[in-house]
Each structure stands twice: as structure tokens, then as C-alpha cells.
Chain A
Amino acid sequence: MGKSSLWSAFFRRNRMGVFGLCVLAAMIIAAVFAPWVSPYDPLKINMLHRFLPPSLHHPLGTDDLGRDVLSRIIFGARVSLEVGIISTGIATGVGVFFGVIAGYKSGSATDNIIMRIMDVLLAFPAILLAIAIMATLGANMGNVMIAIGIVNIPVFARIARAAVIQVVPLEYVEASRASGASWPRSLMRDVLPNSLGPIIVQVSLTMASAILAEAALSFLGLGVQPPTPSWGSMLSSAQNYLTLAPWDAVFPGLAIFVAVFGLNLIGDGLRDALDPRARNPRAAMRAAERKSQPA
């Protein structure tokens, strides 16, 4: 399925997916316009206003240093989104690159070496590998992106490899090669566009898991360092004041949950749009009707 028809199928059939897009849009707006939409400076410490419960002045309360929780969550969207986008970008770029090579040379030693390296990366639970990488590189935001990017490479390599293996023997690719297109050219023009669907689905799901992983690493103190507001590190400090200020623990977690939920909805919606039979019976029927109509 081409890119444009994938998106139109997505919008026609999937209300929950559209809701997910709205969540993502809200997050992007919050991140981009953070300095203008947040009511307070997220770093401003005010020891006289510690642990204030939610009120009109501080809709989501204040934390242990008297900072406004809402403002910190809005600025935290920047961290989540940046890490989500860049680490997914690393994983997609590197994974697809090696997956395509392995797919083109499938069965060769190159293919074997690439895929065995992917197997080794997959031999650790993702978050543990990320923790180990963070322990090696040291805790800061750039390294968080690298660590989360690395652990997500194998999925993309596998998808790209499978897609290439599936498409390369097809007639139109063969025809384009026969008519003189070099293999990088035929790759860009004939192969990749036809593998885009599954990759796009995986991108949205990986972004969801990357945001979750960043929050987990920061929660463990291995990710984004204070005072930079990150949803995970906010939860980590709130953990010490659960009885005193439960709102400090509730709202940052809610932000993580909503962001991850939204991205998962987008991923699911795209997957359904790719395979109409997957979930919605009405969509499946419509697809069947269209197929039976004369072209």
C-alpha cells in the first residue's frame, strides 16, 4: 500500500487513531510553545510554596522545591518528544540501512553477520540493555537518545530485511533493474516505497516505547538529569513524598501514560489501515466490496 492511501485509510476508518494524532499534536504544541503556554518558570524554586495541592494558582500543585508541576510537565513534553523523535530516528535510520543491505544480500555472509549482531542486541531485554549502555556512557540526554536508539535498531533491521526480500523478486523491480537502474536507485525508487507501511507502523510504536524508556531511565536516575524537567525524573522525586504530595506522583505519570497511549493508538490505527481485516468488520466488508467492483 502506498503512503497516501495508507493515511487516507487511516483517517477514514479509525477514530481512535485520530484521537491518538490529537494527543501527539497537543504534545507537539506544548513542547514547541512551552515558554508561552506554561504558567510559571519550570525551574523557579520557591521554598515558601512547597507541596501546594492543586489550586487555581497551581492547577497541578507544586513539588518539593515549590516548582509548578503543570509548567514542569509542559516543559517535560520537550524532553519526551525530543528523545522519542531522535532515538526513533537513530533506530529507523541505522536499522533500515542494515536491514536493506541484509535483505539485498540475503543468504550471504554479510546478511549472516548483520543479523547475528541483531540477534545479540535482541538477546537482552531492551530496557536492561539501555540501562547497561547508560551505565557505560554516563547519564545525560544525548546518551539517552543513543541508548534507546541502539536497542530499537534490530526491529527495524528485521522489518526492512523482510520487506526487501519480499519485494526484490517481484517483476516490476526486476524490470527496472533490467532497464538499467543501478541497485541503489532501484532501492530508493522501487523497493523502499513499498516497504514503507510496516516501517511507519513500527515508527509510531517505537516512539511510544522510546518515551516510556526515557521516563524509566530518568526515573532510575540514569536518564535526563535534574533540574531539567523530565516526566520520569519528576516521578522519581515524587516517590519520596507520596503521602505528603500524591499529586506530584499522579500527574507526571498521567502525562507519560497519555503520550504513550496516543502513540500506540496511532500505531494500531495505521496497522489496521494496512490490513483492513485486522480489526474492524465493517472496514473489511468495505474493502471486500471495493475489490469486487470492476476497476
Chain B
Amino acid sequence: MTRFLVGRLLAMIPVLLGVTLAVFGLIQLTPGDPAAAILGTQANPAALAALRHAMGLDLPAPIQYLNWLGNVLHGNLGESYRNHIAVAQLLADALPVTLELTIVSLIIAAIIGIPAGVIAAARRYTNTDYAMSAAALFGISIPGFWLGLLLILLFSLVLGWLPASGFTPMHDGLWANLKGMILPGFSVGIFSAGVLSRFVRAAMMEALEEDYVRTARAKGLGERVVTYRHAMKNAMIPTVTVLGLQVAFLLGGVVIIEQVFALPGIGQLSLQAIEARDYPIVQGATLLIGVAFVVVNLVVDLAYTAIDPRIRYGG
């Protein structure tokens, strides 16, 4: 187990280095001079040159990369061009919102997607199954930001049940906080619910064909017990992986939905930064999400091996 863990951790390093290289490269390719962005277009050339030297911008690109990487490893992501607040601080302030929305939408996706898939498989090739499959495809095809607008239209503007925008921190009231998360969570989660239900259905169908299910049936167990106890338990193992991998899609969706519901998360932070050409923030946010994603994938991988006794640690 230790060897397996170490192996997986080591395999992560080249990908993480690649991620930092990609993020660094993207910003290098961006037109414009960071020194000019800080001092403004009216700055005199001597001051610009001095600042460029102080920032290390006159060094060759590989050296700049190593300097930047060294800073990143020390938790220093630079500071915003606009207000000189540390990027790490800005990200730390925005992260809880994005994280909460991701978790809420993951829960919504699981609550809708898993039962839908199980029911579809239990009633396979009936109209219930076809309806569920059509609903799943609906979920996969509907643009989350459009769904968000429709939900605002219905539940906020017409019915007035839920807030249309804004974020209430948890310490200002849990219910107020959650109320603001329901519509955005649903807008993001519905896609993953569709993906999940299709996957669970397929996994259940496969499990229902297995020998141990036939044995259970032969023992005289009812179809309900066979479906919900025997088959479902085994279909849930691969589902964990898919659920984990959905985190990536959810993160992407969350960033867009934050814009619809005016939630002050990483997505809104980076979009505002893109508009203001405040590149250290864009760089920091992209790096944070890339690294988070690689780590999530690793955790999913490890969880999978931990859950499934058939997988051996080693190779």
C-alpha cells in the first residue's frame, strides 16, 4: 500500500510541473508589459526599466519560470496589479464560495443522478427507463447558465421564493446561506446528475448480469432485494470514481454560474481580473484550479482502490 501510494504521488509530479509550465506559458504569451500595467501608460522609461529589473522581467524566460515556481512553492502567488493585495489572499477569500457551491452541486447531482440511474436499471426497457434516459440527456444538453436564468425567472422573480443573486456568508445564518446556494447548485449539478444517472444505469445493468446476482435469484431472493442490495452495492464502486471525476466539470460549471448569480467566488474573481488585465490573479486562479483538479483525481483514484477489494496495491 505504501509503495502504491508513493508511486502515485511520484507520478503526479510531472503532471503538476506541466500544469505550472502551462500556466506560466499562458501568461508569457499574453501581450503587454506587466510593468506598464502597474505604473500606467504615462510612466517614464527609466521607472519602467527599474521596475522590470526589480520584478525580474529582464531575465531569460526559463530563469523567470524557476523564480516564479520558487515563489509559488512558498505560497507567494504575487500581488494584484490593481490594489496590490496578495493573490493568495484574494484566492483564499474567494475559495470558500466556490468550494461550497461545488459541494452543494455535487450533492444535488448525487441525490438526483444516482436514484434515477438505479430506478432506470431496475425497470429496464420500460417507459420509466426511457423517460429517465431522456431526462438524463436533457440534463447533459441544457446549458447551465441558461437553466440558471430560467430558475431565477421562475423562483426569484415570479414566485419570490429564493434570492436571485448574492452570497450570504455562513456565519450570517446557515439558512440564508443555503437559500442562496440552491438555485446555483441546481444549475451546475443538473449536468452531472445526467452523467451520473447514465453511468449508474449502465453499471447496474452490468451488475445485474453477474453470476452472484443469478445465484441470489436462484436462492429465491426477491427481485427487489437482488436489485437494491446485491447489484446496487457493486454498482456503487465505479460510481465513486465517476462522482469524483465530476468535480472537474462542476468546477468549470461553478465558475460560469458564479457570474449568473453574482457569487464572489474564484470564477468571478478571475473574470474580473481578465477584464482588468490583472494577470497575476488569472495566473493564480488557473494554477489553483489545475492543482486542485490533479489532487482530486489522485484522491478519487486512492478512494477507488480502497473501496474495491479486487484491486491490488502494487503494479
Q: List chain A positions with a Cβ less than 8 A from chain B.
A: 116-117, 119-121, 123-128, 131-138, 208, 212, 215-216, 219-222, 235, 238-239, 242-243, 246, 249-250, 252-253, 256-257, 260-261, 264-265, 268, 279, 281
In the assembled complex, the CB of B314 is this many whole angstroms from the nearest CB of chain A, namely: 20
CA distance A239 to B236 in the complex (A): 39
Q: Of all chain A residues, which has the CB nearest B255?
A: A128
Counting from the closest, the 10 A-B pairs by CB-CB distance are A253-B146, A120-B18, A125-B252, A261-B141, A127-B252, A260-B141, A135-B274, A125-B248, A249-B149, A132-B286
CA distance A246 to B149 in the complex (A): 9
Which of chain B's residues 242-258 have a Cβ closer than 8 Å to chain A? 248-249, 251-253, 255-256
Contact A257 B142 (CB under 8 A): yes
Q: Of all chain B residues, which has the CB nearest A282?
A: B125
Q: Which residues of B contact A238 (CB under 8 A)?
A: 149
| Dominant SS among interface residues on chain A | helix
Q: List chain B positions with a Cβ less than 8 A from chain A.
A: 14-15, 18-19, 21-23, 26-27, 29-31, 125, 133, 137-138, 140-143, 145-146, 149-150, 152-153, 157, 248-249, 251-253, 255-256, 259-260, 270-271, 274-275, 282, 286, 289-290, 293-294
Contact B153 A116 (CB under 8 A): no
Contact A124 B146 (CB under 8 A): no
Q: Of all chain A residues, which has the CB nearest B289?
A: A128
CA distance A239 to B165 in the complex (A): 12
Q: Which residues of B contact A133 (CB under 8 A)?
A: 26
In the assembled complex, the CB of B275 is this many whole angstroms from the nearest CB of chain A, namely: 8
Contact B137 A132 (CB under 8 A): no
Given A125-B251, A125-B293, CB of A215 within 8 Å of CB of B143? yes
Q: Which residues of B contact A138 (CB under 8 A)?
A: 31
In the assembled complex, the CB of A12 is this many whole angstroms from the nearest CB of chain B, namely: 18
Given A127-B252, A133-B26, CB of A257 within 8 Å of CB of B141? yes
Contact A119 B152 (CB under 8 A): no
Given A125-B251, A125-B293, A265-B137, CB of A120 within 8 Å of CB of B22? yes
CA distance A257 to B30 in the complex (A): 33
Q: Which residues of B contact A222 (CB under 8 A)?
A: 271, 274
Q: Of all chain A residues, which has the CB nearest B286?
A: A132
